[in-house]
Structures are given as C-alpha cells and as structure tokens.
Structure 1
Amino acid sequence: MAWTLSARLMSGEAASVRIPPDSLIEDLRKLAQIELKKSLKAVTSSTTVLDPSSTIQAAGLKDGDEVGVITAPKTKLRAHKFGFGFAAIMPDGTVEVWGHDLFLGNSRFDEAEQKDVLDVFLTETAVAALRADGTVITCGSATDGGDSSSVKDLLKGIIHVEATQSAFAALRADGTVVCWGSPSSGGDCGSVQNLLADVRRIYKSRSAFAAVTGSGAVITWGDADCGGDSSSVKDLLADVREISATMSAFAAVTAKGAVISWGCSEEGGDSSLVQQKLRGVSRVAASKRAFAAIRNDGSVVTWGDPEHGGDSTGVHERLMGVRSITASKAAFAATTVQCTIDATETGLNMAVKTGVVTWGDPDKGGQSGAASDQLVDVRQIACTGYAFAALRSDGRVVVWGSARHGGDASAVQEDLVDVKELYASQSSFAALRGDGRVITWGHEDDGCDDPQLQKELVNIEQVCASKLSLAAVRSDGELVTWGDPEYGGHRTVDLSSRILPSPF
C-alpha cells in the first residue's frame, strides 16, 4: 500500500508524492523531482539530510509526513564511468554535450525538445535526458541508445534511467520498463516484457540488466554471458533487496542475507565454493571480475577471478570489523574499525583502531605497502582503474597502486591539504579542497601537471569523470576539462551567460 508524503522546497512550494514505504529515499527524490518539475539534490527531515539508500520507512517517516527537498547545483555534470564524453545540465534546463565523435555521431539534441531537463544518463556513446514532464529525449550513437524513436510513444512517466555500455532501460512511475539501444546489451526486453511490472529498481552489468520488483523477484535480459540469463538460479531469486555486478556477472543479496550469483562463472557468476559462507551478508562490492561480500559480523567473503580480488585468503585474518569496500578494476580496499579493551589497575581502557586492508593484483592497488601505516581515520576511498586514493578525516590524502594511474602523488603531496572530496577517472585523480581549488595527479598523458590547468581549477563547485577525462564547473560558470581529448578532455567553455540568477 502506497503512502502519501509532502515534499516541500525552501520557497514553500510543495507537491504530494504517492510511494510505497519500502521504496528508497532516492526513489522519493526522483518522484518529487517530477512532481515539482525541478532538479533536486537531496531529501531532508526536520533535522538532517536523509540517506538516499535508506528505505522511507527505515528513515523514520510515516504516511502523511512532510519532507524537505533541496534543489540541485546550478550546473550538473554527468558521464559514464567508461564513456567517451560528458553532458552538462544547465540551469535553464538545456544540455551541453561534448566528447569523442563516437559519442555524438551525427546526432544532437533538438533545440526545441531539450528543455526542462532534470537529469541525464549515459551509455558509453549516447545520452538520454529526462525532462520535467517525464518524457525522455536522446542523442549520440544511434545503435548504442542515441536513437529512441522506436519507443518514443512509450517514454512517458519516466522517473529513472539505467544504462549498460550501449543500451538504456527506463523505469516508469507505474513500475513498467522501456528499453532501447543495442539488443545484445539489453536494448530489447521483449522476451520478458510481460514480467516487468511493479519494478522498483534496475541494475546493470556491462551488457545486461536486472530488475527487482516490489515482491523481491528478479527479471534479467541482455547478453546471457553478462548475466542477462538468470534461469539457472530463477527459483533462488526471491525476496531480493539489492544487486551488485562485475563486468559480466550479478550477485543478489536477499532479505535474509543470502547471496545468489549468476553470469560469467570466471567473473563471479559462480559462488558455489563459498556458498556456505554467504550468510548474514549486508552488502556486496565488485571489481571488474570478482565480488567481495561484507557480512553482518564485519567479516568478508570473496569469489571470482583471484587476480582481480576473488581470493582474499592472504588477508583473511585482518578482514574483521569491515565497514565498507571500494573496488578498482583488479583490487579491493576495505575500511575496518576494531575495538580493543584492556584491563588495568584503574579499570578498563577501550581503544578504537581504524585501518584499510587491501588485496587483489599487488601492482594495481592490491598491496598498499608503505602507505599502510598512514591509512587511519579514512572517510573516503576513490580509485582509478589501477590505483587508490584515501581521504583521511584530517583532510590529507594517501595513495597507492600503479604510479602511472595515480598511485604516486609525491609531486602534489604538499598541496593535498583540507581535501573535502576525491574524484577519479580510470587514469587520474582530482581532489577538491575546502578553498575551492582542485589538485590533480595521475597518468602523464592526462595533463594533470599543466600549470595553466592549475590556474583554472579554482573556485570549483563540482567535479565529474568519464573514462579518461575529468570536468569541473567553477562558480563563475566556466567549465574546465582535462585528460584525453577524445574522451572529453582539454576543452574550456564559458557557461556563465547561461547561468540563471537564484530565485532565493
């Protein structure tokens, strides 16, 4: 049974949203965005920003409650993590798109249609823009999702879009799904269309989709070798609450904490060797070819390609009190918290020790080596394809992994202070400081050490990464990009003329 919640802006404008109580706060944000016809950043209670991954009921809300909603920044940047370009949503509701010729092809957004855009979603070479009226427009490579003409009449009432490497799947407010793009990558869901009802969330691997319904059932389609065929575990896929994916396999966590996997067996699709250990699992992380499951007791179970982190036996005894796991292409990094209590003559002394445990390919981030002693009080870990960067609570940054991919920050270490957020392409890092400066380091071909770039990366409000490039928006409206020019790098554009004044 759906609840009715009131979503209110700071201006006082409000809208009613009908949504099941077991939906996520993120789903509430998306529906409120459609009702208010404004791009929204977050949902708040009377005292705090609500966790987007929490369910509405778990967040303490009740039927009939009012929540606050915060509008998104002036300009929003979007990219596919393995994509060939970027999209920028402007305050006037239009979209700027740039990158490799493959990214755009001969396609551009129709100027008459690209208005009131709330969000943008990308395959590797195509763009889908969600408008305030719930419709979707597309551009880019026609075969990879840039041409949605065959389903145009169905793209109504859309609340969210997911993308594989070359296909889109759009979730409608009524729980049905519309697909387009490369059929081999999930662009054709005709064989399961009658099953795609009451869908709550859609997940993706490289070339397949998995949809979870309100009852916890799972429907899959796309490349069978990438998890598009789940028939072998169909009877086990019940009461599913979350799904993770490597490039070619899925792992589903049930409400009881069991894990069901399918897809390419070498990339995590076969968990039979550790199945008895996969109990009481809270969440699952994925590298390119392996999975790591965090259990409720803080221990970790791994499976998949050993060279990509599927074998953690070498650090098994240290994987206790694990709170989160970050994965690069070939390695994992787990943050741990452990408490020790010592008896003394004056009583009991309790000490809390935090740290980071790594495993996987030692040359690609699986061995933190000399950096291990510095990995304390870590609050964020980011990764390129083959290196990690950890942000500590004191604003300092610690790096390890392939030096060519950001594992060596010695040239900028003195500037890595008061860092608030880390970002990463597959080859370079960017650190946003409290003073608005961005510090860059990584692959020699990305131009991170360009003095002119460092002069431009000031008063930054947000950063975004594609496969081999990064982009940042300054407070004056200027867009600065760097990295591989064929992936959207090396382009500076003045967007200030399109920045609208704040209504508040």
Structure 2
Amino acid sequence: MSQDTQPWRAWWQEQRRRNEELVRATQAMTMAWTLQVGHGPSSPLWTLRPRNELDQARRGGAGGLGRFLLKVRKSRKRRLRCGSADAEPWHLEISLPSGRSGCFQCSPESTVGELKVRAQQFFRRGFLRLFSKDRCLSPCESLAGLRDEHLTAAVAKVKIAASLAAFSIWSFNGPVVVWGNPHSGGENYDVEHLLQNVQQIKAADTAFAAILGNGSVVTWGDPTWGGFSDDVVLQNVRSISGSSTSFGAVLQNGGVVTWGEGQEDIQEVQDELHDVQEIVATSTAFCALRSDGSVVTWGNREMGGEVTPQVRRKLREVCQVKASGGAFAAILKNGSVVTWGHPKYGGDSDIVEQLRNVQQLCTSRAAFAAVCGETSSVVTWGDARFGGDSSMVQHQLRNVMKIKASQKAFAAILKDSTVVCWGDAKSGGDCRSVQSKLQGVRQIRASGAAFAALLQNGDVVTWGSATSGGDSSSVADQLHHIQQIKSSSDAFVALRDDAQLICWGNPRFGGDGPCWNSDEQLEEDERTKSCGACGVAERAVVSRVAKTVEALISKAPRSVGNCQSAADIFRRSLETSPSSAEIHLHLADALNCIMRIETNGNMLLISGTQDTPENIRIWKKVGPEAWEHANEALKSMPRSARAASVYADAFQYMSSAHGILRQALTGGGQEFLRNARRMQKLGPQEEGGLGFIFEGCFYLAAPWPVRDPSVALRLMQKALAVKKSKRNFYYMGYLAAVCKGSHL
C-alpha cells in the first residue's frame, strides 16, 4: 500500500469505529436508562437529547458529558415532611427567645426529633432544644400529646475539649462524641453508657475526664496517664485540671484528689490541701491555689513541684497561677510576678525588671509572656527558641488585648484587632504571609506549631506548620460563619453556626475528624439513647473484640487466612450481639479484604480484565454476605464515613459478580454512583479520598457514551490532593496515560 493511501485508510477505520460505537450506544439508549442519582425514576442522571441540540452540547454541555446526546438534569431535593400524609395534620408554633417564631404542620405520627430538624432548617440555627411549658422534650418523643401547644426553642451551647491527639464534643443533656487517636481518648466505648448529664470535660495529653451533674467523674483514654480512675474516690468534684500524665480534681469541700502517673508525692502535702480554689499543672508537677492566696505544690521538684524558702516568702496574696512545661508563674495582688521551677522553662524571672502591674500571663512550652502597665506592653522571658525573646517586634507590642501561644511561638491580638507574632517561625512565629488577612481578629487558637485566627465576620485565617493545621486550604471554602475553634497538638476543629464541624491538620491527631453534621449526630445518639436502642454494652464488647483481631487483620503481609480468621471471630460475636452495627461493619470489612486480596488487589474493575470466571466465583460466594453486613451497619450508622466506605466496597464486589459492563448500564451503575458521592459527602478524606476514586473509576470503566476519562482524571486529582498514596499515584498515572492516548 502506498504512503498516499495510508491516511485515507486510517480515516476510514476511525469512521467505521465511531459508527460501530454509535450503533452500540443507540442500542443501549433504546433500553430504559436506569443510571440515576435521584431517589426514583423521575430524576435520571442522563436523558436522550434532541439532535438539533448536539452542536450546543459539544460547545459546552453539563457535567463533562455535553459532547454526547445527553444532558444532566439537576437532582431535586425532597421536601422534609413531619409525619404521614394520611394522618390528620395540626399546627405547632415554635419561638426563639429573640421573639422570632414559626408555625409547623405536624401529625400524631411525627416525633420531636423530626420537628426539631424542620425547626433548625427554618430558623437556620443548629443544636436546638425544644421545650414545652414545663420540660425539655426528648427527640424520640411523639408529638401526639402536644397538639396546638406553643413550644420554645433554645440553642444549646456546644463545648469542645481536646487532648494531645483527640477531640470530645458535647452539649447540654446530650451525649459525648469523640474522635482522633484511640490511645489519646479518641474512643470511649467502654464508658459511653456512663456519660450522662456531662457538665465539664478536661484533658491530659492522652486521656479525658468528665464531670457529671451528680459530681462524679468518668475517665477514658490511656489508663496509665489518667484514663483509669477506679482506684480513687471521685465524688462531689467541682473542677479538674490535667497535666501531661495525670489529673487533679478539686472537691466541693476544697480537698484535692489526683490520679495518673507519678502522684505519690501528693501524700507529703495532703494535709495542706484544703480550701483549694483551682489547680494548675506543668508537664509533671501541680500547684494548688488556696482561698487565702497561698499555694501548695507537689510532683517533679525540678519542674515546679518544689518551692524554695526564698520564693515561698514572696508567695503571698496570689491571684492567679500559670504554668509552662516546667515552671510556674504567680501574679500577686500588687501586680508583681513570682516564678519558680526549671530556669530553662521560664522558672527564673528575676532578670526581668519590667514585670510590674501585670494584667495577664501566657505560656509556651518553655517561655512566658506578660501584658504589663497602662500601655499594655509585653514582657517576655524564658527560652528564646520558644518565644522568650520578643525584641524583634517589641515596638509593635502596645495596646495588647490577649496573647495565645503554640509550643514555640506567641501571637498577640492588639486593640485594633490586628496580630503581632514572635518566636519560632515554623511554629507560627512569623505571620507575614497572612498579615493582610489578619484584620478584625476576635480570637486566636494555637495547636503545637500553628495558629488559627477567628475573624469578626466568622472567617478563619491560619498560619504556621502545615502538618499542625497551619494550612487550611483544603477546607477554606467551608471556613465561614464559624462560632468557635478548638485545637489538639497538630489539628484544629471549627464549629460553624449551622452545626457543621470542620476539621483540618494531621489526621492522626484528629484532623480528619467527623465530616457529618455534628448536631444531627449528637441528636441521633441522644435519640437512640432515650429510646433504649443504643446498645452501649454491646459497643464495649465490640471494642474489646476489635482490639483482639486488630493485630490479626492488619498483620503484614495481610493474608486471606488472617482476614478469614478475623471474619470468623466477628461471626461468633454476632451470635451474642446480633444487633451490633460495629460488629456488622468489622465483619463486612474483613470479607471485603478477602475478596480484594484474592481478586483485583485494588486494581480497576474493568470489563474483560478482572472479571475472570475465578474472580466472579469468589465475588458470588463472598460478596452477598459482605453486602448484607455492610448494609446492616450503614442502616444503623447512616452518617458514618467508614460505614459508607465499607458498604461501597461490598456492593462493588457483589454487583460485579453479575458482569461489570451489565452493571454499568443498569441499576448497578446508579447505586455505584450514589455510594461514591455519599462517601465524598460524609468523609472526603476517608480511605485517602476513596469516594473520588470510586466515581472516577465509574467514568473510566463505563462504556461509551458514559465513559469520560477527563472527568475521571479530575476526580483522581481530587483523591491525590487528599492523600499522596501509592494507590492514588497509580490511578493518576493510569488516567494520565488513558487521557493522553485519547487526546483529551
């Protein structure tokens, strides 16, 4: 064949291929399209489009599918209804303390929880509690006895506590929700049933302690460092303070009880611990401030547990005590400051002559900063590497309103609501990169090496170490209308006014926290607790069983035998706890691991590749059982990102047993897309962006005209932005090659 005819032959072959694809697509589209993302056949993802719109579609289109004879229809939100349409409706009026009110149509089949959801949407306020004339209404309570009543809605104050690597959130008369590192208090299954009417939660480095309404205390976390308190009597507790490794509680009678690591020294001063107002702690020592203005210390002598006679003579009329990692500083009634402890941690302030008329103190790990005098200037001392030297910005430190500190740096809010920083630049001591944004600052929070400033308009500005939360770009579009911010050592959590929790920072320190609506989660926990369907005792069993098989199923290299043994353990556990959602979830996950190892090994499920007869046999054998247990878990935990992920995996294997191509063109494709988008909504960071991977795989593996590698590539890029894992790099490389080959 001559060279002149080769281009024409290539063109003819390309046209023939396109015609064949068009015929196949037409045949497929003549069938009833069942790929949809809505809740029924009335909201299909794709519908046939007239040919006279083809040119317009090619110029733009919607959703990346415009070049095909298809268009994307917007999904319609279902209106929330309170009760059955068949029941006779009546009206309830709900009002806020501000006077704003709304009238809601209800039926006797409705619950208070359903009405509360509608009220929150109407008032655009989260964490509402509904009250009748004489009591607070339970979310699971029926509306049948409240006909034509006038209800009052009050916004419950939400509180957040943080240990070194975990968070706790709770509200009035609600449950406690925790997340983060389990070894730092990120799990509380064993004591969840005890956490009723929580008034206050305090944290040590790796444990939490909650004061209940009856004055008792519940602890969880590392048992050695304060997470276990059964060997002490904790009744009539007024307040709690935590050090790095232990807790100290002030009782109503002014006495003190301590527990955790290294509390033997308290016996030496036990007789002096009376009329105590508060307790402050360094990393390994405590200081109790008594009502007469004197102090009592115990613990590590070098780190502040011992006061020399010379210093003790000065400790009269103490008003306030602050602690660094290894030293104490006391503000006296006359405005002077007395320090003791390790000199490298700021325990020697005699060299500082300007410490007069001190208004407030702030501490980093090894330095102090004091706001002094009528000009509200700042005096610093301690280790210069930890912010103990502020000479570079001293001329700016006037009219200081408040100071916050990370481990090695300080940030001061001035009277004009701007910010001045000093200390270690990598720990937030240099804010020049965001200085123009730091206007109208009303509050600052600090992690171990980063800062987050809450502005008066509700926006958030961050700086410092990216791994400690100094980079919030991944959630920047969500950080608006923020009410409060809390930090662990390397992560932040922000509570928005619509009750949404926004987390960022190191995932191992709580930075990949719950992405569900926190108000709905707390209400759901409260509702199940009130209705007696919580199963807390079962969850304690689950925790122990899960820890038993954790080493087994995660053993490297992970094998089918290990996963099968774990599955057998969970099957036996279901015999005694058949309603446990956690056991169903763990069992489904183990079965998914078996199928993944034996078949595709995390590779794309593409028709004609992984769907071998042997793989299909395994999927048919194991898939239905995995899906059944994953479905049970998801029904009980509809807002759990982990449950959504395990369910999506199980469905993928079960449906692929009936043919990958067939599932892509029938109802299986609809469910697959819904699963992927649910993962993106509930937990975009779950499994390193698995929700984006799933949807990207759909657009890559589906046949023409649904197949769209460019859309798949954009989704894979989102997954890679979440986590730079080997799997995500593999998919990115594969997609890049496909797109390059397709000239997209």
Which TM-score applies when normalising by structure 1?
0.67
- 1:186 is matched with which residue? 226
Relative to 1, partners in 2 of residues 1:70 and 1:288: Cα closer, same or farther, differing over 3 Å? farther
Residue 207 of structure 1: aligned partner = 245
Residue type at the aligned position of 1:148? V
* 1:291 counterpart residue number: 328
| Residue 147, structure 1, aligned to residue 169, structure 2 | no
Distance across 1 between alignment mates of 2:237 and 2:388? 37
Deviations 1:20-43 (A, max 9, x none): xxxxxxxxxxxxx9x9769xxxxx
Amino acid paired to 1:277: K
| Residue among 150, 153, 165 paired with 1:83 | 165
Report the alpha carbon displacement of residue 190 of structure 1 after superposing the two structures with TM: 5.0
Deviations 1:422-452 (A, max 9, x none): 1111111111112222111101435745655
* Cross-structure match for 2:347: 310
How does 1:332-351 map onto structure 2 within 5 Å? 332-337=368-373
Mapped to 2, the partners of 1:36 and 1:265 lie a distance apart of 52
Give the fraction of aligned pairs with identical amino acids, expressed as a percent: 41
Q: What do the CA deviations read for 1:169-225 (whole angstroms, capped 9, x no partner)?
A: 4445444445565543234545542xx55432232222223222333222323222x
Find the aligned partners of 1:71 and 1:492 in 2 and give their Cα distance: 21
Could you tell me which amino acid in structure 1 is paired with residue 288 of structure 2? A
Written as runs of structure 1 = structure 2, the 5 A alignment for 1:79-118 is 79-84=161-166, 86-88=167-169, 97-99=178-180, 103-104=181-182
Per-residue CA distance 1:378-416 (angstroms, 9 max, x = gap): 111111111010001111100000000000001111111
Match of 2:431 in 1: 409
1:458 Cα shift? 2.8
- Do 1:292 and 1:301's aligned partners in 2 also have CA atoms closer than 8 Å? yes
Contact 2:163–2:184 (8 Å) recurs in 1? no
Q: For residues 367 and 70 of structure 1, what CA distance do their matches in structure 2 show?
A: 47
Distance 1:167 1:448 in 2: 25
**CA 1:414–1:500 in structure 2 vs 1: closer, same or farther (change >3 Å)?**
same
Counterpart for residue 715 of structure 2? none
Amino acid at match of 2:479: L
Q: By percentage of residues, which structure has more strand?
A: 1
- In the alignment, what sits opposite 2:285? 249
Letter in 2 for 1:469: A
The answer to whether the Cα contact below 8 Å between 1:471 and 1:482 also exists between their aligned partners in 2 is: yes
Counterpart residue number, 1:433: 455
Larger C-alpha radius of gyration, 1 or 2? 2
- State the TM-score, normalized to the length of structure 2: 0.46
Cα separation, partners in 2 of 1:83 and 1:36, compared to 1, 3 Å: farther
C-alpha distance in 2 between matches for 1:92 and 1:216: 27
Q: 1:374 aligns with which of 371, 396, 419?
A: 396
Q: What does 1:418-497 align with in structure 2 at a 5 Å threshold?
A: 418-446=440-468, 448-449=470-471, 451=473, 453-475=475-497, 478-489=500-511, 493=515, 495=517
Q: Which amino acid aligns with 1:200?
A: R
> Does 1 or 2 have the higher relative contact order (CA < 8 Å, sep 6+)?
1
Is the 8 Å Cα contact of residues 211 and 220 (structure 1) preserved in structure 2?
A: yes
Other-structure match for 2:304: 268
- Structure 1 residues 176 and 390 mapped into 2: Cα distance closer, same or farther (>3 Å)? same
1:86-122 Cα offsets, whole Å, 9 max, x none, are 34558995766543xxx24xxxxxxxxxxxxxxxxxx
Q: Which residue of 2 aligns with 1:390?
A: 412
Distance 1:490 1:168 in 2: 20
Letter in 2 for 1:293: A
Q: What amino acid maps onto 1:395 in structure 2?
A: S
C-alpha separation in 2, matches of 1:328 and 1:359: 11
Q: CA RMSD in A?
A: 3.5
> SS of the residue aligned with 2:360?
strand
| Cα distance in structure 2, aligned partners of 1:157 and 1:477 | 20
Given residue 364 of structure 1, which amino acid in structure 2 is its aligned partner? F
Q: Structure 1 unaligned runs (5+)?
A: 1-8, 13-32, 39-68, 105-123, 128-139, 338-351
Is the Cα–Cα contact under 8 Å of residues 90 and 96 in structure 1 kept in the other structure? Answer: no
8 Å CA contact 1:244–1:250 kept in 2: the answer is yes
Aligned positions of 1:204-243 closer than 5 A: 204-224=242-262, 227=263, 229-243=265-279
Once residues 195 and 466 of structure 2 are traced to their aligned partners in structure 1, the CA distance between those partners, rounded to angstroms, is: 43
- Aligned partners of 1:497 and 1:162: how far apart in 2? 21
Per the alignment, in what secondary structure is the counterpart of residue 270 of structure 2? helix
Instruction: Please give the per-residue CA displacement for 1:238-278, whole angstroms capped at 9, x wherever unaligned.
Output: 22212111111110111111111000111110112511111
Q: 1:431 to 1:98 in 2, by over 3 A?
A: same
The one-letter code sitting in structure 1 at the alignment partner of 2:160 is R
Q: Return the offset for 1:77.
A: 6.3
- AA in 1 matched with 2:430: D
Q: Report deviation, 1:290.
A: 0.8
Cα distance change of structure 1 residues 368 and 436 upon mapping to structure 2, 3 Å threshold? same
| CA distance in 2 between partners of 1:162 and 1:479 (Å) | 20
Kindly indicate whether the alpha-carbon contact (under 8 Å) linking 2:282 and 2:304 is maintained by their aligned counterparts in 1: yes
Deviations 1:29-70 (A, max 9, x none): xxxx9x9769xxxxxxxxxxxxxxxxxxxxxxxxxxxxxx97
Supply the distance in 2 between the matched residues of 1:91 and 1:470 (Cα, whole angstroms).
23
2:409 aligned with 1:322:
no
2:170·2:176 contact (CA, 8 Å) conserved in 1? yes
Give the letter for the 1:185 counterpart: W
Q: Does 1:10 align with 2:97?
A: yes
Gap change, CA 1:479 and 1:304, over 3 Å in 2: same
| Equivalent of 2:317 in 280, 288, 302 | 280
1:477 touches 1:499 (CA, 8 Å); kept in 2? no
Q: Deviations over 1:101-151 (max 9, x none)?
A: xx24xxxxxxxxxxxxxxxxxxx6225xxxxxxxxxxxx1xxxx65238xx
* Distance verdict in 2 for CA 1:198–1:497, change over 3 Å: closer
SS of the residue corresponding to residue 162 of structure 2 reads: coil
Unaligned runs of 5+ in 2: 1-95, 100-130, 138-152, 524-744
Could you list the per-position Cα deviations for residues 307-352 of structure 1 after superposition, in whole angstroms to 9, with x for gaps in the alignment? 111111221x211101111111111111112xxxxxxxxxxxxxx3
CA distance in 2 between counterparts of 1:417 and 1:404 reads: 22
Which AA in structure 1 matches 2:509? Answer: Y
